[in-house]
Structure 1
Amino acid sequence: MKLMRSVLFVLAFSVCGINAKEMNQPAPDFTLKSMSGENVKLSELQGNVVMINFWATWCGPCRQEMPLLDEFYKKYKKLGFVLLGVNVEEDSSKAAGYLKEVPVTFPILYDNTNKVSELYDVDAMPTTVLVDRGGNLRFVHRGYKPGDEQQYKKLMKKLMRE
């Protein structure tokens, strides 16, 4: 009976989609080239709440959440919110092609060698991390399903109020 309750708890936890892990440690710094050709360095964004979304064109959930992330960016950027979309594919032309179909206003960066993905232990697509104004990694969220954006919004607002 006890084992069955444990299994049910694990299943309920998984089904509820509690995929965000709270933490508080310095965010690994990185510099990546953006789609516009300029370098973006995370540490230069200190003072803002930064969402880093690791994604790929072959990832259905990534494609599904991309327009929702763009809405967040448009709504909150004036409040000190920065969103960086980090494409993890070796061939960045796939991302460029996709973004012609589904344009976004937030910066897209290319991690063609997956060095930054490794720094952030990205093991699921998409993986979204939130960095506070002090440059600390505060939340990691793996995967995406409809409704997760409400959790993103709650976490973003919490960090923007700090």
Structure 2
Amino acid sequence: MSKQQLNKFYLVSTLIVSGQLLAAPSLENSVLKKDGNESSLQEFLGKVVYVDFWASWCAPCRKSFPWMNKVQSKYQQQGFEVVAINLDVDSASAHEFLAKVPAKFNLRFNPDGDVATAFDLLGMPSSYLFNRQGELVQRHVGFYEKHTAAYEEEIELLLKE
């Protein structure tokens, strides 16, 4: 078994054992755009969507942003979107973070944290991968650079469907 296959097996088996694979947050939740207007994540239906929850105080989030920029750019033309949802209560903290760690993907804000609660957020950052039908197919708690090849393989498989 290759290292990449082993990483994928580890990720999937961890999700199955933890019972997270069958949990089903949806894209129906409303979040705020940068301009303060409300938006539904359903605007991304028909695309493979990587929803990531982050906060300005989250050290691993600083590592995940460059990777999310990369995959957004690499797969956007194939129908892929990264949507990063900030949970900072103080938007100034989020904007300070973004000045240092720019995002080239969709940003949304949820200062009330109700969307994070609906997604049953277990840690920061947490990401959720949805297929084109809006069904949750993968969940990751934390961001690990050593697993980025496996994360990317999951995206590629969904884009081929």
| TM-score class, shorter | 0.7 to 0.9
Aligned-partner Cα distance in 2 for 1:27–1:57: 24
Which TM-score applies when normalising by structure 2? 0.83
Which TM-score applies when normalising by structure 1? 0.83
Partner of 1:139: 138
Aligned-partner Cα distance in 1 for 2:25–2:111: 24
Maintained 8 Å contact 1:23/1:139: no
Aligned-partner Cα distance in 1 for 2:48–2:23: 14
Aligned-partner Cα distance in 2 for 1:38–1:74: 25
Partner of 2:11: 18
Residues 62 and 17 from structure 1, CA distance in 2 versus in 1: closer, same or farther, beyond 3 angstroms? farther
Partner of 1:45: 44
Spell out the pairing of 1:1-162 with structure 2 (5 A cutoff): 18=11, 21=15, 22-23=21-22, 25=24, 27-162=26-161
Maintained 8 Å contact 1:26/1:135: no
Residues 38 and 150 from structure 1, CA distance in 2 versus in 1: closer, same or farther, beyond 3 angstroms? farther
The CA deviation at 1:38 is: 4.2
Maintained 8 Å contact 1:28/1:119: no
Aligned-residue CA RMSD (Å): 2.2
Compare the two structures and name the one with the higher strand fraction.
1
The CA deviation at 1:40 is: 2.9
Maintained 8 Å contact 1:84/1:107: yes
Maintained 8 Å contact 2:83/2:108: yes
The letter for the 1-side match of 2:60 is: P
- Percent identity for Structure 1 against Structure 2: 28
Residues 117 and 99 from structure 1, CA distance in 2 versus in 1: closer, same or farther, beyond 3 angstroms? same
The letter for the 2-side match of 1:82 is: E
Maintained 8 Å contact 1:52/1:84: yes
The letter for the 1-side match of 2:93 is: K
Partner of 1:13: none
Aligned-partner Cα distance in 1 for 2:50–2:10: 19
The CA deviation at 1:158 is: 1.1
Give aligned pairs, total: 148
Aligned-partner Cα distance in 2 for 1:29–1:111: 14
Structure 2 unaligned regions, length at least 5: 1-8, 16-20
Structure 1 unaligned regions, length at least 5: 1-15
Q: SS where residue 49 of structure 2 aligns?
A: strand
Aligned-partner Cα distance in 2 for 1:73–1:128: 14
Q: SS where residue 46 of structure 2 aligns?
A: coil
The CA deviation at 1:93 is: 1.3
The CA deviation at 1:36 is: 4.0
Q: SS where residue 154 of structure 1 aligns?
A: helix
Maintained 8 Å contact 1:35/1:107: no
Q: SS where residue 147 of structure 1 aligns?
A: helix
Residues 126 and 85 from structure 1, CA distance in 2 versus in 1: closer, same or farther, beyond 3 angstroms? same
